[in-house]
Structure 1
């Protein structure tokens, strides 16, 4: 054939090939230049139309999903994105570093190779009702530094870790998901940032055996709420929820049957240094077989903290079941109806806790503890509102039930019966604490109950003498002032004793005169009446001698006219007079000291 005859035929073939490349949708090719399978072609068409493709157990290559999200297959994709149901994804879905405006939705799919979302920027990712695992050495869901409006794992089952380190999400929804990892955390989300809310609720469960924690949210930031209603978390060696330095703007919800168990010394739930809007944990159950149930040193709560309505926490810890030292609560701490137990230490450690409003440890509140410490440690705690403390539900191995040293509150504590509180301070505290008595007395004085305030201060002095380790001389002086002055708060006692001394002196003088113990002085002194017998004193002089003996400083002049005789009775009057003078001076001095509060100040 002549060469010129090839030219038209070659041109026709070239034109035909170009037309097929421009118009055909049935001959798209993947990266390895293989023609797409029928299933993959159906997915490409579904993405173009915005439909959900239900494959009912058929397999599809993970590479197709990557190419679709990268825009390498098909025409213009519908805004609904890639939506697939019931498929088995062969291989690992590798979306590392992929940026796409398409949403990825996989419903009830099986992903034996897992998903790699590291450094990806996607519109949204939904892995709903899926079964996800990975090859040894891989992470089933690795979303480190993922940026997406929504990440959903609702109802999925994951064998391994869901890694969300430094991820930036609009919403994280893992409602109903079931996570299990025997070698590490089930959720590893340190440094994660979520603009709205995190949902680990509606039957969400996570089980692990990691000292790092089952669910890790260290340093994470949540702009909405952290909702763990109905969640179950388990860890056999470490925390169930490890959320130190967590920041949640709104509520942290652990209600509706929330349950967390652990056997680690770090605590079942850790919120050390966390900052949250409020806590709502009514009915939650926390258990730890080797440490605290809640460790929240330095926790900051902007609003209320509710550990009420059947909230239960049990621990085996020398530290405490619930640890809140140095925490700050901007509203109410309500533990009404809560049940705390510890078989190795205190039930509650709230030392230096700052509460803006009320502290409620009543309304069915119970706590049991073991060891030498008190059941409740409230040392240095500040309550800006009222204190509700019912000790009927407290049980401890030691006599001490509550350590109140340094506790401050506003108004009368409830219940307000002074005798009940005095029994608590005297018999059920670790040792003498002056501040606890002073705070209680000030509360009664503020509402005008001065009698109760004095009773509290008298009880304080008695407790001081009994348990403050004073010397014998200090205790002796204390007992003297207690008997004579009510420790300076009842100076009328010294006045009554002074009057009793005066009455005794007058009685002694009159009785002695009737038994020849007193006689009128002779005039002149050397002259005796006829017969050599002394003349009896007049009744007025007898009373005057008694007044002179029993009253300091005041003299009636009766002793110038009436004097003791040389008889035994007269000598008794002389000696008794010395004693009565000493007592009179003592009681008068004590009365003045008590009246001027000089004794009270010491």
Structure 2
């Protein structure tokens, strides 16, 4: 491109480039970049001029060229597809009339902060430093799939809109980021796609507003993050997908407001997470899916658990904060799959690890009671008997209470009305206490039961005592066996 063909504004940028000097066309610090279409030729620069500077611009000995432009209206397409530039690029507070094409380009550094763009096509782009899109406004899809960033990606308070298209508003699928993904306050109207991405640092989406009602709002399946994912105070309309994700640090959903009524709101099945924090927030509107997930520490407050959960196969090492078993059981019993034995076993193990044996027994008792509801009528009947007698073996002292009560009833009844002896000459002296024990204890004999024969209602009482003794003995034996096997 000949220098004679440049406008005064472009000539100013051309002459500043070799020395890396900044060119600022801004009228004031508070001007609205969205009104950039009305900016005149005194601050208009063609994309073709910027392309020429970045690919084959003038240089001066002893100087470091750089493109530093603020407050410009950029017309035409900035087309750097497959191009390589060794110069830093800062196009801040600029208004782009056309979508920049940076597909497969190689750049030293790119800064688009506070600019307004109709979109961005930069899939498989490689940036040796950082990519800054702080406070940017994108009116169309941003395509960064497969990009490789050696440094961090800054998108704090950026706004992405994918109106009039089925494409995601922000595509970061398969992207590789060598540092943090920093995007607090991000706003997205449409899908944010992060599936298959790798982040060497942490992901910060605190205070983000993500809206894609009824659809996936953050698709981060198989995402790998070596640090944390911060989603504090995030607001979503749609569901978050973390299936198969691997998060070495913390997934922090404190103070979050998640909404996707009637469907999954957080799908983290088969994921591996260091810590999951769900606290100080209202219950999510939708289903919490943690099927087959592996979590070192599950920091979940009962008040933050949604009305519907999926927990089958979830494995966690510790559960915080410490809560009574009754409050934790509410979460387990909300499972959409109904009775899930694995969930009860995991909760029992969590209590045993911290030495709360009483809570662990209550969880196991609740498990047996929930299991009872899945049995046929005769199984439920026998279950009620075991529950009433010994609490399925987790309340063994209850059986001794029953035995003592029946012993008192039988002893008093037979003391008031002695049964007749079968062989008066051979019968021992009648003892109502040991006679009742003979009836109640099926494997012990004191010689009283076979020597005396009650009549009428007292005979019926003896039958009842024998049956009750067998039932109590069987349930006690089942409870002891369960306790021994558990230990």
User: TM tier, shorter chain?
Assistant: 0.7 to 0.9
Relative to structure 1, the CA distance from residue 296 to residue 574 in structure 2 (aligned partners, 3 Å threshold; closer, same or farther) is same
Give the match for residue 392 of structure 1. 303
Give the match for residue 32 of structure 2. none
Task: Give unpaired runs (5+ residues) of structure 1.
Answer: 1-29, 44-54, 69-76, 87-106, 181-185, 209-213, 316-320, 526-536
The whole-number CA distance in structure 1 between the counterparts of 2:122 and 2:105 is: 8
SS at match of 1:498: helix
Say whether 1:242 aligns with 2:171: yes
Say whether 1:333 aligns with 2:273: no
Count of residue pairs the alignment pairs up:
460
Mapping 1:151-550, distance limit 5 Å: 151-180=89-118, 186-201=119-134, 203-208=135-140, 214-236=141-163, 237=165, 238-255=167-184, 257-262=185-190, 267=191, 269-276=192-199, 277-289=201-213, 291-308=215-232, 310-315=233-238, 321-343=239-261, 345-356=263-274, 358-369=275-286, 374=287, 376-385=288-297, 387-393=298-304, 400-414=307-321, 416-427=323-334, 429-466=336-373, 469-513=374-418, 517-518=419-420, 521-523=423-425, 541-550=431-440
Say whether 1:585 aligns with 2:474: no
The whole-number CA distance in structure 1 between the counterparts of 2:391 and 2:24 is: 85
SS at match of 1:325: coil
Relative to structure 1, the CA distance from residue 150 to residue 509 in structure 2 (aligned partners, 3 Å threshold; closer, same or farther) is same
Relative to structure 1, the CA distance from residue 290 to residue 108 in structure 2 (aligned partners, 3 Å threshold; closer, same or farther) is farther
8 Å CA contact retained: 2:195, 2:219: yes
TM-score (structure 2 length as normaliser):
0.84
Give the match for residue 447 of structure 2. 557
Relative to structure 1, the CA distance from residue 524 to residue 394 in structure 2 (aligned partners, 3 Å threshold; closer, same or farther) is closer
Relative to structure 1, the CA distance from residue 502 to residue 56 in structure 2 (aligned partners, 3 Å threshold; closer, same or farther) is same
RMSD across aligned positions (CA): 3.4
Alpha-carbon shift at residue 109 of structure 1 (Å): 4.2
8 Å CA contact retained: 1:507, 1:546: no
Q: Which protein, 1 or 2, shows the higher relative CO under an 8 Å CA cutoff with sep ≥ 6? A: 2
Alpha-carbon shift at residue 327 of structure 1 (Å): 0.7
Relative to structure 1, the CA distance from residue 282 to residue 390 in structure 2 (aligned partners, 3 Å threshold; closer, same or farther) is same
Mapping 1:55-134, distance limit 5 Å: 80=19, 108-111=43-46, 115-116=50-51, 120=55, 124-134=66-76
8 Å CA contact retained: 1:388, 1:413: yes
Task: Give unpaired runs (5+ residues) of structure 2.
Answer: 26-41, 58-64
SS at match of 2:92: coil
Q: C-alpha offsets along residues 112-144 of structure 1, whole Å, 9 cap, x if unaligned?
A: 76654599366544444322222xxxx344343
Q: C-alpha offsets along residues 62-98 of structure 1, whole Å, 9 cap, x if unaligned?
A: 9xx7xx9xxxxxxxx9962798887xxxxxxxxxxxx
Alpha-carbon shift at residue 593 of structure 1 (Å): 3.0
The whole-number CA distance in structure 2 between the counterparts of 1:194 and 1:353 is: 30
Q: Over alpha carbons, which structure has the higher Rg?
A: 1
Relative to structure 1, the CA distance from residue 367 to residue 585 in structure 2 (aligned partners, 3 Å threshold; closer, same or farther) is closer
Give the match for residue 13 of structure 1. none
